[in-house]
Structures are given as structure tokens and as C-alpha cells.
């Protein structure tokens, strides 16, 4: 292949749309020490991308080298590659961009009275001359993909491409609050971020100042030991996360930066989801900006051509740090109640022991005596529930309606019972495996090949929840024991196991065993909880509501749906014209 074709193929890995051009050029400006970066685009960046900076500039005699493939001044040895501290280091960005556009660079380095200009078209240099220029560099990219029209077919509308450019600039600005960033699109100012010494201010400027009252500060750190040198390094996380009520089904609102480099990482995203487990609906997360600072030698930034993905040497450490750091912020805001000794407090001595009209609660909770100092917690008095005479009314055999603290509360009996069961199971499993009942003969059945692959990964968790499962062939398994809990709650253990093995359970992500266990307990609690349409006695309702204030995250079920809604009595009075 000739050199031009090689460059165009390489460009396909680095430059796939105008936003990737903006990313590469702005990163070069940041590496050059720029304090002000201005980006101008036309037609979403397909007609024009101009990046102007006031950085250190490029010497006139080095301009031809700047557009040469794999020419870089930032890496000179293998040691430098193992501890990369700059954005650009591969030396292919400008050469790749020049191969699919008409590019012109004008630059004057600091300390020089004369600048220079070089023009490249389709990878071929068409002119290099001295030029008047302020200190810094101006790079102009015109007619992107003019010589590779197939690439243009995959671009979105100019408005959508401009929005991507805006996202890139805002993302890069998060690690550089002392730099001014501006973006103009067809004469309209899309980004205008003034330099600031307040790092938190820059994060809020990107998130939107109206979100400030709903953002929580995250900060945590831990130490990790390098297995080779035995040196101890500190890993630090800081940033902002939104309140659960800001959760939206859009992953792009969560931004991660490692040593100032914006990245995309499925494992870190899963850690954030785990921190909000039970507070938001599945697939919904609030906005978040999280900075991680790690030893550069413990992160490989050379695993992706566009450097948007990295590989960590200690992924589980970072995963837990993100999860626990965000959980800590939620707890400090009283959004995650502190554990209250669930099993010791869950049932008062005189409380009824049934949650289901046919299966006693005592069969899946400890029936130990409660400490006398805690037995004074009152159980909700209910004389009669179903006919509405008492203090709680069951509506449509689904909703529990009652008055509490100046509000009318409507609780979802299934969601609330699901949360109660989840927290109880979680507490019991943390102390010992759930009770199991052995089968007279193993139950052997066939499963998909993917389920067989998951069986090994899930084996420790299956043991903890009461299963004894072994392979019985290439695509068959034998079950010798099943959880007593499921049988007592009327759930078929074999059917449950088949459904469990059919779930991906964060496959391919660096989650720990406890997080996968939480997903499994979610399923158990959901299957075993009372359903909408189940008729509850007054004693059962009393027991359920008595436990509501004694469990973690009682406001939401394990899947994130609310367990109840509150309507202030003042709002009701207003609706009836009493106010």
C-alpha cells in the first residue's frame, strides 16, 4: 500500500467524525500549555474546524515533522510510554487528520519573532512558508473526508455533530479549570467556559448552575501496593454526583477522568450503578463527574487508538473506590440510611409473624428474642384493614394507604415487601449461607451453553444462597440442594435457577462477588415478595409497616422503584379549595 492509503486507514482509527478532530487538536493545545483555546466550526465541523491556542507553538523548521506519521516529542523511551502524562504521545493525529482533509497550520513559538505556515491536502504537503502569527498555534481543517466520501455518509446532521464537538470540549475542560474554552458553531456560541481557580466551579459550569443544589461532593482515597516493586501508592477519587431524583436514562451524563484524561470504562460505570442500586430505576443514573488520580505506571493509556479507553493494573481497587466513594456521599446526605441491625430489631416480641397469609415470616427470619431495650418500638395499630375501619386501608389488594407525619402515604405492598426481604436476606448471607434442603434425588436438567459458562462464575454465590449445583454433562447440571427460603415462599427453585443462569450478571465487567450477590438477592426478593392482588390481613400489614423504618433504603425497592409516595395534607387541602 502507498503511504497515502496507509495514512487514510490509520485515520479511520483516530478520526471518525468532526468531534474526534476537535478532541485531538484541543488535546495538543493543552499539551502545549495553552491558557485559552478557541474552536470554530462550520456545518458541524465538516466544512471547517479551526482551533486557536496561545500555547508554546511549533518552531518553523519543525512544522513538516508535526504532520509526519508517528513523529512525537513526548515519548523518547519505553519508560516514557509506561508513565504517559500527556494527552498526545503516539504522533499520528495530525498526519491522520491531514490525510482526509485540507489542513493548514500557522504557528509561532514563544521567544521567536517569526512564525511559519504549512499546508497539507490529502496527506501531501502543498506549501510551507514563513507567516505572521501571534504566539501559539492555529490549525485549520477544511472539507473533512472530502477524499473519502463513504465516511461522510455515516455522519449525523450538522446540529448533531456540533453537539458532539461541544461535548468533547466540555469533557476536556473538566480537568483544566485554569484554561478558557470557547466553541462557536456557525457564528453561534455553544461553549463559553472562563478560566477559574475553583475546580468545583468548573464542574458546575459544565453541569449547569441550576443543578448545584442537587449535587453531592464525592471524595475518597485508598492505598494500593504494587506487586512488583512493593511500593505503596495512593488512589484518590473526587467529583460530584447528582441526587437520585435527577436520574435519567442517558449514560453520557456520567463522565470519568483518569489523571485528567477523559475515558470510557464499563467497569467504572457499573461501580456507579452499584452505588445507586435501589435508589434509582434500572438503567437510570443522575449526572456525575468523577476524577480518579492513580499512579501513571498503573494505567495503560495505549490500548485504544483514540485513547478513550485504558487498562488498569488494579481494576477491582478502583471499582470499589468509586462505589464506596459515591455511597459515602449518599450516606452523608442521608440518602442511604445507616444499617440498623435489621435482624435484631425487625420483629417486636408481640408482633405477628406473618407476611403471607399462608407462609410464616418466622421461617425466613431469625425468631430470636429481641433486646428489651428495643422492644418498645410501637407496632402500627390496625384493628381492621380491609374494610377501611382501621388506620391503614388496603386498596385494590395492592396499595396500603395511611396518614403519617402530616401526609397521606400510599405504599406499594410488593415493592415494600421486596425491599424488606432483600435487606433481610442480605443481612443473613453476610453472616452465613442460607439454609438448604437436600433433595432425595438430584434434579438434572439441560441449559444453554452460555448458562454453563456462568455456572462456574456463580458457583460461590449459589452455595451462599443455599444451592448445591454441579455439572452433569456438557450442557446439563445436577441440583442436589435448594434454598429453603424459596420453597417456603412458594417459588420453584429449579425455575428460579434457570432464570438466574440466563441473566448476564455484569458479564465482562470488573464487579466483585458482593455486587453480583446483590443482583441475585434482588431476584430472590422479587420472586418471593407478596404481589399486587394478594390479600393481606391486618396483622400482616402491621408487620410490614413496622419493618419499614428499620431497613436500609426503604424508600425504594431493590430495582429502584419507589416503595411509597407521600402527598402532603396541605396539598390535599389546596386541591379541595381549603387553602
Residue range 99-122, pLDDT digits in tens: 999 999 999 998 888 899 999 998
Asked if residues 466 and 434 have their Cβ atoms less than 8 Å apart, the reply is yes
* pLDDT for the residue numbered 362: 35
At 294-341, the pLDDT tens digits run: 988 888 766 555 556 678 888 888 999 999 999 999 989 877 533 333
Read off the pLDDT band of 507 (50, 70, 90): very low
Q: What is the CA radius of gyration of the chain?
A: 30
CB neighbours (10 Å) of residue 396?
Answer: 7
Strands (E), 535-576: 564-568
Statement to judge: residues 404 and 461 lie in one domain: no
Share of the chain above pLDDT 70, in %: 81
Strand partners, 407: 404, 568
Statement to judge: residues 224 and 105 lie in one domain: no
On whether residue 366 sits in a domain, the answer given is: yes
Statement to judge: residues 171 and 154 lie in one domain: yes
At 37-54, the pLDDT tens digits run: 999 999 999 999 999 999
Greater confidence (151 vs 81) lies with: 151
Statement to judge: residues 557 and 511 lie in one domain: no
Strand partners, 565: 410
Domain-ending residue, one of 298, 313, 332: 332
Given a cut of 70, whether residue 367 has pLDDT beyond it is no
Domain-ending residue, one of 274, 304, 332: 332
CB neighbours (10 Å) of residue 567?
Answer: 12
CB neighbours (10 Å) of residue 310?
Answer: 20
Given a cut of 90, whether residue 468 has pLDDT beyond it is yes
Report the pLDDT averaged over residues 86-100.
74
On whether residue 398 sits in a domain, the answer given is: yes
* pLDDT for the residue numbered 384: 39
Asked if residues 4 and 122 have their Cβ atoms less than 8 Å apart, the reply is yes
Given a cut of 90, whether residue 21 has pLDDT beyond it is yes
On whether residue 35 sits in a domain, the answer given is: yes
* pLDDT for the residue numbered 543: 80
Domain at 567, CATH number: 3.30.1540.20
Statement to judge: residues 148 and 14 lie in one domain: yes
Give, for 170, the enclosing helix (H) or strand (E): helix 158-173
On whether residue 337 sits in a domain, the answer given is: no
* pLDDT for the residue numbered 236: 95
Lowest mean pLDDT among 259-263, 280-284, 373-377: 373-377
Q: Match 447440571 to its residue by C-alpha cell.
A: 477
* pLDDT for the residue numbered 248: 81
* pLDDT for the residue numbered 360: 38
* pLDDT for the residue numbered 505: 55
* pLDDT for the residue numbered 511: 55
Given a cut of 90, whether residue 513 has pLDDT beyond it is no
Report the pLDDT averaged over residues 501-528.
74
Statement to judge: residues 261 and 377 lie in one domain: no
* pLDDT for the residue numbered 343: 28
Quote the Cα angle for 201-207-208, to 5°.
Answer: 85
Greater confidence (276 vs 452) lies with: 276
Statement to judge: residues 56 and 129 lie in one domain: yes
CA distance 183 to 162: 9
Give, rounded to a whole angstrom, the gap between the first and last alpha carbons of the chain.
Answer: 81
Statement to judge: residues 13 and 144 lie in one domain: yes
Given a cut of 60, whether residue 9 has pLDDT beyond it is no
Report the pLDDT averaged over residues 433-461.
85
- What is the span of the domain harbouring residue 369? 342-428+533-575
Statement to judge: residues 450 and 540 lie in one domain: no
User: Which residues are CB-neighbours of 284 under 8 A, at least 6 positions away?
Assistant: 247, 248, 249, 560
Which of 11-15, 288-292, 423-427 is predicted most confidently? Answer: 288-292
CA distance 416 to 544: 8
* pLDDT for the residue numbered 120: 92
Given a cut of 80, whether residue 228 has pLDDT beyond it is no
* pLDDT for the residue numbered 483: 92
On whether residue 282 sits in a domain, the answer given is: yes
Read off the pLDDT band of 222 (50, 70, 90): very high
Given a cut of 70, whether residue 11 has pLDDT beyond it is no
* pLDDT for the residue numbered 188: 93
Task: Tell me how far CA of residue 396 lies from CA of 324, 392, 472, 489, in angstroms.
Answer: 40, 13, 46, 22
CA distance 521 to 548: 18
Comparing CA positions, the residue from 340, 374, 385 lying closest to residue 542 is 385
Statement to judge: residues 504 and 550 lie in one domain: no
On whether residue 441 sits in a domain, the answer given is: yes
Domain at 449, CATH number: 3.30.1370.100
CA distance 388 to 385: 5
Q: Match 390535599 to its residue by C-alpha cell.
A: 572
43 Ramachandran zone, left/alpha/beta (phi>0; psi -120 to 50): left
Read off the pLDDT band of 73 (50, 70, 90): low
Asked if residues 274 and 515 have their Cβ atoms less than 8 Å apart, the reply is yes
Statement to judge: residues 290 and 410 lie in one domain: no
Q: Which three cell numbers mark 183?
A: 466553541
Task: Tell me how far CA of residue 438 lies from CA of 480, 482, 492, in angstroms.
Answer: 6, 7, 14
* Number of domains composing the chain: 4
* pLDDT for the residue numbered 221: 94
On whether residue 423 sits in a domain, the answer given is: yes
Strands (E), 122-246: 124-131, 136-142, 180-185, 188-193, 215-225, 232-242
Give, for 408, the enclosing helix (H) or strand (E): strand 407-412
Domain at 226, CATH number: 3.30.230.10
Q: Match 477491582 to its residue by C-alpha cell.
A: 316
Q: How many residues would you count in the chain?
A: 579
287 class by beta-carbon count within 10 Å (0-12 exposed, 13-18 middle, 19+ buried) = buried
Comparing CA positions, the residue from 370, 371, 411, 417 lying closest to residue 394 is 411
Domain-ending residue, one of 144, 178, 197: 197
* pLDDT for the residue numbered 6: 54
Greater confidence (503 vs 412) lies with: 412
Comparing CA positions, the residue from 93, 103, 101 lying closest to residue 31 is 93
* pLDDT for the residue numbered 196: 95
* pLDDT for the residue numbered 71: 59
Q: Which three cell numbers mark 116?
A: 511559519
Statement to judge: residues 26 and 112 lie in one domain: yes
Q: Are strands 254-258 and 288-293 parallel, antiparallel or unpaired?
A: parallel
Task: Tell me how far CA of residue 565 lies from CA of 22, 383, 549, in angstroms.
Answer: 46, 24, 15
Given a cut of 60, whether residue 551 has pLDDT beyond it is yes
Lowest mean pLDDT among 5-9, 270-274, 518-522, 537-541: 5-9
Domain at 24, CATH number: 3.30.565.10
Report the pLDDT averaged over residues 59-80.
69
On whether residue 285 sits in a domain, the answer given is: yes
Q: Which 3 state secondary structure label does DSSP give 543?
A: helix
State the average pLDDT for the chain.
80
Long-range contacts of the stretch 375-382 (C-beta < 8 A, 24+): 375/348, 375/349, 377/345, 377/348, 377/546, 377/550, 379/348, 379/350, 379/351, 379/542, 379/543, 379/546, 380/541, 380/542, 380/545, 380/546, 381/542, 382/538, 382/539, 382/541, 382/542
Amino acid at each position: 500500500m502507498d503511504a497515502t492509503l496507509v495514512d487514510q486507514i490509520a485515520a479511520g482509527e483516530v478520526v471518525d467524525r468532526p468531534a474526534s478532530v476537535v478532541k485531538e487538536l484541543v488535546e495538543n493545545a493543552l499539551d502545549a500549555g495553552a491558557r485559552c483555546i478557541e474552536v470554530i466550526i462550520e456545518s458541524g465541523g465538516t466544512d471547517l474546524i479551526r482551533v486557536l491556542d496561545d500555547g508554546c507553538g511549533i518552531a518553523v523548521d519543525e512544522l513538516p515533522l508535526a504532520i509526519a506519521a508517528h513523529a512525537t516529542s513526548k515519548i523518547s523511551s519505553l519508560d516514557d510510554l509506561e508513565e504517559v502524562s500527556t494527552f498526545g504521545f503516539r504522533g499520528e493525529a495530525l498526519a491522520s487528520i491531514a490525510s482526509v482533509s485540507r489542513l493548514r497550520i500557522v504557528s509561532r513559538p514563544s521567544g521567536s519573532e517569526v512564525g511559519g505556515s504549512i499546508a497539507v491536502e490529502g496527506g501531501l504537503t502543498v506549501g510551507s512558508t514563513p507567516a505572521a502569527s501571534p504566539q501559539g498555534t492555529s490549525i485549520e481543517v477544511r472539507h473533512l473526508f472530502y477524499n473519502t466520501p463513504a465516511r461522510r455518509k455515516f455522519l449525523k446532521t450538522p446540529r448533531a455533530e456540533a453537539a458532539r464537538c461541544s461535548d468533547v470540549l466540555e469533557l476536556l475542560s473538566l480537568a483544566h479549570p485554569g484554561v478558557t474554552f470557547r466553541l462557536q458553531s456557525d457564528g453561534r456560541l455553544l461553549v463559553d467556559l472562563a478560566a477559574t481557580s475553583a475546580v468545583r466551579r468548573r464542574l458546575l459550569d459544565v453541569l449547569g448552575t441550576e443543578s448545584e443544589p442537587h449535587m453531592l461532593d464525592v471524595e475518597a482515597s485508598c492505598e494500593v501496593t504494587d506487586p512488583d516493586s512493593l511500593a505503596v501508592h495512593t488512589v484518590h477519587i473526587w467529583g460530584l454526583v447528582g441526587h437520585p431524583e435527577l436520574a435519567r436514562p442517558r449514560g453520557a451524563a456520567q463522565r470519568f477522568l483518569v489523571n485528567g484524561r477523559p475515558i470510557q470504562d464499563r467497569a467504572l460505570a457499573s461501580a456507579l450503578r452499584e452505588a445507586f442500586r435501589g435508589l434509582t430505576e434500572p438503567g437510570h443514573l443522575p449526572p456525575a463527574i468523577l476524577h480518579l488520580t492513580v499512579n501513571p505506571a498503573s494505567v495503560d493509556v495505549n490500548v485504544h487508538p483514540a485513547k478513550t479507553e485504558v487498562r488498569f493494573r488494579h481494576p477491582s481497587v478502583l471499582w470499589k473506590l468509586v462505589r464506596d466513594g459515591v455511597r459515602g456521599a449518599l450516606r452523608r446526605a442521608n440518602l442511604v440510611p445507616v444499617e440498623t441491625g435489621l435482624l435484631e430489631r425487625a420483629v417486636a416480641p408481640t408482633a405477628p409473624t406473618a407476611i403471607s397469609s399462608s407462609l410464616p415470616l418466622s421461617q425466613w427470619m431469625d425468631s430470636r428474642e429481641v433486646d428489651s431495650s428495643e422492644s418498645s418500638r410501637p407496632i402500627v395499630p390496625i384493628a381492621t384493614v380491609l374494610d377501611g375501619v382501621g388506620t391503614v386501608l388496603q386498596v385494590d389488594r395492592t396499595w396500603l394507604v395511611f396518614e403519617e407525619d402530616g401526609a397521606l402515604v400510599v405504599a406499594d405492598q410488593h415493592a415494600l415487601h421486596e425491599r424488606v426481604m432483600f435487606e433481610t436476606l442480605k443481612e443473613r448471607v453476610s453472616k452465613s449461607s442460607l439454609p438448604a434442603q437436600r433433595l432425595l434425588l438430584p434434579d438434572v436438567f439441560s441449559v444453554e451453553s452460555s448458562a454453563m459458562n456462568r455456572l462456574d462464575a456463580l458457583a460461590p454465590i449459589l452455595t451462599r444462597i443455599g444451592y448445591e449445583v454441579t455439572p452433569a454433562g456438557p450442557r446439563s447440571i445436577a441440583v442436589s440442594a435448594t434454598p429453603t427460603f424459596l420453597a417456603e415462599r412458594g417459588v420453584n427453585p429449579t425455575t428460579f435457577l434457570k432464570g438466574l443462569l440466563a441473566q448476564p450478571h455484569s458479564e465482562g465487567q470488573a464487579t466483585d462477588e458482593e455486587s453480583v450477590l446483590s443482583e441475585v438477592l434482588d431476584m430472590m426478593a422479587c420472586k418471593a415478595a407478596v404481589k399486587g392482588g394478594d390479600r393481606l390481613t391486618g396483622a400482616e400489614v402491621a408487620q410490614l409497616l413496622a419493618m419499614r423504618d428499620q431497613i436500609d433504603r426503604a424508600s425504594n425497592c431493590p430495582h429502584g422503584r419507589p416503595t411509597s409516595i407521600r402527598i402532603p395534607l396541605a396539598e390535599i387541602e389546596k386541591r379541595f379549595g381549603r387553602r
